[in-house]
Structure 1
């Protein structure tokens, strides 16, 4: 990882889920940023364009979840990101935080809101699944998820170029710097790669969200989705929006799976305002 900007620091904490590496910046109301499931995903690689901006108002914490980045590896049968998120809050002495989650991190955040409502102040998601089959997307894996899984088997520069390319709408954001960064991160942890591949098809519990529980979410929710997302169809956020009573949906044209990257200025402004106003 490249040198962090001034005011952004890296730390490790021990939790029952193992060692967790995280990035921290700023002061104020805690905001937990949870990354997606792609190879090379970390708190920093997913949120580099956002952390400094949000840290102007909030205490921002971006962990590498177990099985990613510099955190301990974990087999799929022991992977429980909701429990890990709770352990992170406890270890850092945080009573309640705003949760911001991309893709897998969005599903973790949504599930956390159903199981620990007293520990979450805001629910903000970008491109999550809704835990149910879609009507308009493919019956099986989307094009993006197929490439994501293939990149776990081939995290080379060429493999990662395909992944970053399908995650973004505008090719300008599929930069060689980002491709190289994520390829190097993924390739440096073959244990993470193996455990993810070994767990494919055996991690359905992580993708299940009960509609009745989603409808009971009390935290104010902001659901952000790219209109051109080829990894997770935007209908999933439409479904979550229909279920969560206190929610609003931001659907962005010319945007893929990484709204926080492709539309960073709008994302930063909207997220900061949402947390401050609710």
Structure 2
């Protein structure tokens, strides 16, 4: 029987934050932490429910709602430090090291962990993170991508209609994956915690909701096995960001998926799960 949200739902005090997370698998198995993206209504469960069950057959899986999202504590831009919160959660759960799997914003946090807390990270896996403010060949000059414009609009008006547009731009095969059920779920998640919406938009007005990024110049020092996954059809973060990361991280390899948008773990769930299981088990 497939795992449900209720089966996996947990809450813990981590540092000075209360963090909600989904947990599955054998606690004695290698730990894998799944970090969600920054969209309105994003949670650990909503971003990774197509993956948790399969990964839990091999690993101790933890999918937190990061501070500022879901059922976890609210944070302002100046107080948000997801890398520190992730380490605090590991401490609370008495986990020394974990493989970190991060989508978009979660990938940015994963790369920060690799550069700032490498002793806590066994493997790095990212899907569609940005690479910072470096010049790029294909990205829009001086402006937001189509996907980011849609994401911010959904923060300002977190209706089912806005979430429908958001899920459509996040996926390549929107007829299959941008379902009415998903849009309704994301709208319900977002409107249940209006303070998260306000804090995100306030942070966006201050120069971006994520104040702390990794530094590109630190990545060549990273020796942690790294797998960079990206959709060729990503309309939120162009795949050239992953190519730039690949060029900077010595022990890395990249997988570029055709007919895939920003949510590789959703659109290509079976392949994604196989890639993650094989990479962590054999590196």
Q: TM-score, normalised by structure 1?
A: 0.96
Task: Assess if the C-alpha contact under 8 Å between 1:7 and 1:26 holds in 2.
Answer: no
Q: Distance in 2 between matches of 1:198 and 1:233?
A: 25
Q: Distance in 2 between matches of 1:266 and 1:74?
A: 35
Q: Cα distance, 1:4 vs. partner? A: 5.0
Task: Assess if the C-alpha contact under 8 Å between 1:223 and 1:250 holds in 2.
Answer: yes
Task: Assess if the C-alpha contact under 8 Å between 1:132 and 1:209 holds in 2.
Answer: no
Q: Distance in 1 between matches of 2:70 and 2:131?
A: 25
1:200 partner SS: helix
Q: Distance in 2 between matches of 1:119 and 1:174?
A: 35
Q: Distance in 2 between matches of 1:243 and 1:150?
A: 33
1:196 partner SS: helix
Matches within 5 A, 1:121-160: 121-133=122-134, 134-139=136-141, 140-160=143-163
2:255 corresponds in structure 1 to 250
Matches within 5 A, 1:28-67: 28-67=29-68
Task: Assess if the C-alpha contact under 8 Å between 1:34 and 1:102 holds in 2.
Answer: yes
Matched, 1:202 2:206: yes
Paired positions, count: 276
Gap runs ≥5 in structure 2: none
Q: Distance in 2 between matches of 1:209 and 1:110?
A: 6
1:19 corresponds in structure 2 to 18
RMSD, aligned α-carbons: 1.5
Matched, 1:232 2:237: yes
